[in-house]
Amino acid sequence: MSDLANSVLQEEKEYAEKYGFSDKLAYDEMKVGISEDVVIHISKLKNEPEWMLKKRLLGYKIFKDKPVPNWGPDLSQINYDSIYYYKKPKSSQNSDNWDKVPEEIKRTFDKLGVPEAERKFFAGGAAQYDSEVVYHHLKDDLEKRGVIFTDMDTAVKEHPDLVKKYFGSVIPPTDNKYAALNTATWSGGSFIYVPKGVKLSLPLQAYFRINAESSGQFERTLIIADEDADVTYIEGCTAPIYINSSLHAAVVELVAKKGAHIRYVTVQNWSKNVYNLVTQRAFAAENARVEWIDANIGSGANMKYPSVYLQGEGAKGEILSIAVAGDSQRQDTGGKVYHLASNTTSKIISKSISKGTGITTYRGLVHIDSRARNARSTVKCDALLLDENSKTNTYPYNEIYADDAFVSHEATVGRLGEDELFYLMSRGLSEDDAIATAVLGFIQPLVEVLPMEYSLELKRLIKMDTSNSVG
């Protein structure tokens, strides 16, 4: 067997040991496929109010009519009639006490390190298993200050006025096919409200796990930071390795009011049988600041373009994205910023790494409206190719309608070569360690902004994905 084949087998083994295992659980009965009856059944199971059912049915109608995107990774192999749109283990129940989570589910999250991470580094944590949140917790002092951190299903019942006001206000179901599908079938996800002037010194965390085969996960996350509030939210995602494909189509809506700051961090490590089709968007009011920090390592096909609408004067938007495409992976990522007011600033930094038959693609949009006087935007795209077969694409698009705007775009593509490896190996590093050192130096801007636990795990994952890459 060749060195490359051995390397691929070792990668799969390491992934399976840490993330790719699955649990043998009994699930509630649910029809396979998507239909109006399935949508109604999901809503009834959740005992939702009529206004939410109407939103779901509108989403389903739009989903049926919207075409499948044909400009990115090939999505023609998704069989929507073979997917379970709601999977709930019989034993699951939502609890704020980790000891009350069913033992078989708790073992999974313990193995992934979720509760330990919460205790060490976070102000609160949540865990979603397939279609349902099984655990959420917020520190008592934050509850006393009026912070709300719960799952979306609970928020619909306990905070209906906030949910009705903001649900779909940032990303309507008409936005794209998968936003419509999420609107119809959403389950779980996080709801966060941070009151005026409250600043969280520690991040909130959520972890999403797909366990069932041929299933979809459609969490809905809504974060509202009131005036001068500050919150950081971090999510991680994994799934077992199956032959049949799974679908993850989340929607994330952020609302940053005047002077507020929201930082949203994702470390996505789905297995290669998952289609990851996510819509993420933020509205930033006057002097608000929104940061998207987006790491994409897993999934077979990934389409994700976090965006910020700078609606108020002085608003700021930053998107820091990294994508790693190994064999047979398509990482189609990037970011979009809309400057809609004066003195707004934005920055998009994209780092991509390609290996073997993997393909990374950056798609970016900077729109500067005629009202956006003195707008400033910087885009920087860096791509690293680890061998002669890997590929990368860059598709920047700028729409400039203000004559005093300042927009810069810089792109670089480089290949990790024998000279660099020879230099590092001459200093005593093995080939794998030399490759990892070069790659980790390349993505250092992202690693620096992550909490230590996530930073260490990201480094480990990237090292595993890029070892033995230069032939």
pLDDT in tens, 231-260: 999 887 654 444 456 899 999 999 999 999
pLDDT at position 329: 92
Please report the pLDDT score of residue 337 as a whole number. 98
Q: Is 114 exposed, middle or buried (0-12, 13-18, 19+ CB in 10 A)?
A: buried
Cβ neighbourhood burial of 212 (10 Å; 0-12, 13-18, 19+)? buried
Query: Is residue 191 within 8 Å of residue 222, measured between CB atoms?
Result: yes
The confidence score (pLDDT) of residue 220 equals: 95
* Contact criterion met (CB below 8 Å) for 260 and 176: no
CB 308 within 8 A of CB 337: yes
pLDDT, tens only, 194-219: 999 999 988 888 776 666 556 788 99
Instruction: Give the pLDDT means over successive 10-residue stretches in the chain (471 positions).
Output: 45 46 50 93 93 98 95 92 78 55 57 53 58 60 87 93 97 97 93 96 76 74 98 71 69 98 88 91 98 89 97 97 90 97 97 91 97 97 88 94 95 77 71 70 71 63 57 37
Q: Enter the pTM of the model.
A: 0.84
Write down the pLDDT at residue 97: 56
Q: How far apart (Å, rounded) are the C-alpha atoms in residues 471 and 462?
A: 18
Q: Which residue type is seen at 41? A: H
- Asked whether the CA dihedral 304, 34, 95, 111 is positive or negative, the reply is negative
The strand pairing partners of 334, in sequence order, are: 363
Q: What 3-state class would DSSP assign to 176?
A: coil
Question: What does the alpha-carbon distance between residue 401 and residue 370 come to, in Å, rounded to a whole number?
Answer: 5
Q: Which of 121, 138, 143 is nearest to 195 (CA)?
A: 143
User: Can you tell me the distance from the alpha carbon of 127 to that of 209, in angstroms, rounded to the nearest whole number?
Assistant: 8
Query: Looking at residue 116, what is its pLDDT?
Result: 56
Q: Which of 377, 432, 427 minimizes the C-alpha distance to 401?
A: 377
- DSSP H helices in 72-123: 103-112, 114-121
